Structure 1
């Protein structure tokens, strides 16, 4: 352990942290450019084979950047895509970014440090950083934007140069240290541990924009919200935002165990996939899609009295045609991803003749992320964390997500020596209790 790590972990003062030297290299979960063809012709692209944990050089800071000692991170599906080198190797993103020259050129490396969620401590800041200081406890907004681009000032997600940090940029979060722009920092929720805080930003922010923001589906009280994958990272937050906003969440899950977990979040209406005959990808069979849609729509009407006003979509090809069918007349399908495939097939009659809307949504802007963070900091939204792995086992953690063997979010301890550290507001934590702080950890007997 380096002097800087020891100082951070012992709760050193900002002055002590600044005096401790930054190591020339650090431990990180990363990909190697030499491996980009390793899965060519292979059916099971096992990410444990491509994700390496080893030392990489510490980059120099740009004036608007900070160096964060990462105490904990988490696995997102973009890490899985990266480690499968699909749909394209992410080294192409790094080369494209580097063509800007200047500080961007650092990102074109023979290694790609992954990870788009982090909670940690600021240990260095560039000369242009104003609002943040060494020693601050932070979480990282997973979107990097260009604040000199006009569109960014209307909505950061509309800028041409917005990038998913740790996916389309280098120096990501699954590491002992990460480099981020100061415009990505937000305060860490004080009542959460490092790992509980780390799992939230990407998935919670994405779900917030999709459902709550005026750029999304504009959820209102009484809406019926169908949430695919309600026991996943995104779905667990979607259920909570719907419930908190006075809507009626209807969760779709893959097992009785996951159904019980979703009910712990306050989702009273939970449907298992086998109830509607959804097994695999039915998208190439239009009759089957409609049959599944009729069964699903019938259950929703029986339980709520009407059709779904909003369908929360991120599964993609396997469910998109069903989503278009079951949405209410004038309803909204909002989508942020396609984990089962990007090429969607659907019957367009159910879109145009019933005046439905499809909205594309991607991550969140900084204001939306901050609003989401305030809800988490107040205890109104709970982390969907269910498992914790050490950095050395990042491959195993990513494999769990790759095979859909997880519940909610899977955390990775980076510099934190064990789970349960980092709480600075014990009073709020005690008031909420484990079932409201981290319900899925509590159910597993590992909540703190």
Structure 2
């Protein structure tokens, strides 16, 4: 791998040179092991430590099949699905790999006693399988995480509706937290030239998810002037949702958990901010009993900030902790759009506020091909910026995942794979210089890595 890394970092290569470079029989990857799937049995979710299950080890290099590409990974990032995989919740991911191998004949290599994790990646194409024409060795790329067969008519209007839709690096093997990664070639997109490897690597999953959730007709399809309540507005998803809302001409109301995070979202152009920790909001009286009095207090604060308006759209992803209040505060005829449940999957809300208020709950999941490309285009044009707050090495991936599990981070955490350090990979320094303050906005927060999110 060192010879490949040295060649890629030198920049002095062409397609034919890369085709001649020998591919190693194995590579280093961050994996969970099937034999460890029961290691956290009886331990509460919040007490499970992903650093104990994430293992860095050598795994055999897969051969790219038809429509696939083998990519040298320069950088990746930590997402919540990395944490879920590492703590084996809600279920161990090995069942996903077995079903994939059983249902798709060419996917047998994914069913292994190890799972290479990671649903983000920036890197360089090394090899392509038969039938790949758009990409060739040497192309600098990022990847979106939609892996889909498109063998059913259901997916051809919206590829996320295909019954064989999977999330790469979570429901498939050979993800991005490794020196090499195997992807479908149609997951690849051009790397934004003004970004470093780690900056380019962090946006794929969360930005595409937020784009579908807020901008797309498959989500809330927000418009100029909409009031948009954004939970966790300084986190991975929320930091992109805030930028999208501002760029769309909406009025974001950003919920954060500290003064520092309030500063971050204001720096992104959001004027209306609620520090839930400072206000002492507790939406549950106990683990089984919600507190409608807190819903009303929260709704009143939103109206105070907006001049009397309730949210047209609620950007929902915490799940159990917040769904009840999200349904309550949405305006009459408003929309709660949800993509995750980081605080728990079993939701509880008062359905009277939903049906009598003619409100909607819309479920969204990642993004289809078109939405992912549109989201990446916004990054490349400098309309939306990566929100890297900290960068770890691949050998520190357990520590990085622990930060995300504890919600002790802002924005996104990058992970260097073949890149030996941060700051490499920029091809358009002039364009970068124009946006550098916004690119580095969250990086300043790395000085406070233990601040609760």
Q: TM-score range by the shorter chain?
A: over 0.9
Distance (whole Å) between structure 2 residues aligned to residue 95 and residue 87 of structure 1: 17
Q: 1:380 to 1:318 in 2, by over 3 A?
A: same
The residue aligned with 1:38 is: 39
Tell me how far apart the structure 2 counterparts of residues 17 and 54 of structure 1 sit (CA, whole Å): 25
- 1:126-137 to structure 2, matched below 5 A, reads 126-137=129-140
1:184-226 Cα shifts (integer Å, max 9, x gaps): 0111111010100100010000000000001110100000100
The separation in 2 between residues aligned to 1:403 and 1:124, in whole angstroms, is 38
Of 229, 240, 250, the match for 1:226: 229
Q: Is the 8 A contact 1:64 1:128 kept in 2?
A: yes
Question: What is the 5 A alignment of 1:201-216?
Answer: 201-216=204-219
Q: Which residue of 2 aligns with 1:51?
A: 54
- How far residue 108 of structure 1 moved from its aligned partner, in angstroms, is 0.4
Structure 2 residue matching 1:106: 3-state secondary structure:
helix
Q: 1:104 to 1:281 in 2, by over 3 A?
A: farther
Look up the SS of the partner of 1:329 in the other structure.
coil
Gaps of 5+ in 1: none
Query: What displacement does 1:284 show?
Result: 5.2
> Structure 1 residues 287 and 20 mapped into 2: Cα distance closer, same or farther (>3 Å)?
closer
Give the drift of 1:295: 1.6
Counting matched residue pairs gives: 444
- Give the corresponding residue for 1:440: 442
Where 1:49 maps in the other structure, the secondary structure is helix
For the structure 1 residues 200 and 215, does the alpha-carbon distance in structure 2 shift closer, same or farther, using more than 3 Å as the test? same
CA distance 1:445–1:429, shift in 2 (3 Å): farther
SS for the counterpart of 1:99 is helix
Q: Are 2:355 and 1:352 aligned?
A: yes
CA distance in structure 2 between the partners assigned to 1:133 and 1:329 by the alignment: 52
Rounded Cα–Cα distance in structure 1 between residues aligned with 2:283 and 2:18: 52
> What per-residue deviation string (whole Å, max 9, x for no partner) do you get for residues 299-330 of structure 1?
11111120100000000000000000000000
Question: Which residue is equivalent to 2:172?
Answer: 169
Q: Which residue pairs with 2:153 in the alignment?
A: 150
The Cα of 1:101 is off from its aligned counterpart by: 4.9
> 1:314, 1:162 → 2: CA distance?
21
Q: TM-score scaled to structure 1, two decimals?
A: 0.96
Query: Any conservation in 2 of the 1:7–1:16 contact (CA below 8 Å)?
Result: no
Distance 1:137 1:376 in 2: 15
2:131 and 2:110 map into 1 onto residues whose CA distance is 20
1:235 counterpart residue number: 238
Take 1:134 and 1:281, find their aligned partners in 2: how far apart are those partners?
A: 54
Residue 100 of structure 1 and its aligned partner are, at CA, apart by: 2.3
Q: What is the match of residue 27 of structure 1?
A: 28
Looking at structure 2, the residues matched to 55 and 101 of structure 1 have their Cα atoms a distance apart, in angstroms, of 26
How far is 1:281 from its partner? 4.7
Is this contact kept in 2: 1:308–1:328, CA < 8 A? Answer: yes
**What corresponds to 2:451 in structure 1?**
none
TM-score normalised by the chain length of structure 2: 0.95
Work out whether 1:120 is the aligned partner of 2:123: yes
Could you report, residue by residue, the CA deviation over 1:39-97 in whole angstroms, capped at 9, with x for unpaired residues? Answer: 11223211111000111000111111000100000000000000001111000000011
User: Residues of 1 paired with 2:400 and 2:21: CA distance?
Assistant: 32
Contact 2:68 2:185 in 1 (8 A): yes
Q: CA shift at 1:435, angstroms? A: 1.7
Would the aligned equivalents of 1:125 and 1:134 in 2 still touch at CA under 8 Å? Answer: yes
| Cα RMSD for the two superposed structures | 1.5
SS across alignment from 1:428: helix
